[in-house]
Amino acid sequence: MSKPSPIRYCTTTWSSYNASLRKRGSLLIRVDRDMTWRAPRDWRPGRPAVFSDAAIQFCLSIKILFKLPLRQTAGMVARLLKLAGPDFSTLCRRQKTLAVQIPHRRADGP
């Protein structure tokens, strides 16, 4: 008896596919209320940054901690804060210039 051929799926609605990637997971994380989410105006020519470095650091830390792709990270952060967080393209562009360092302690030490 021959093995049936595997079913191949073709994504035709990319907007709903991206939306479903952002909807994965649910979690409660407390965020400092004093954190500046929006970037201050720097008065340089060109397009100003919308989100502060602290906000992008927060998003990229979530990405590293949970080993998520950027689209899922953007969806998770937006869900965490219940407001419009940085989108995929903003995170992708800014992760090239920001180094994320997560302080940690060894399990066997103080």
Q: How far apart are CA 44 and CA 12, in angstroms?
A: 41
User: Is pLDDT of 25 > 60?
Assistant: no
Q: What pLDDT is attached to residue 27?
A: 56
Judge whether residue 19 has pLDDT over 60: yes
Q: What is the pLDDT of residues 41-69, one digit of tens each?
A: 777 777 777 788 888 888 888 888 888 88
Q: Which of 89, 92, 93, 61 is nearest to 77 (CA)?
A: 61
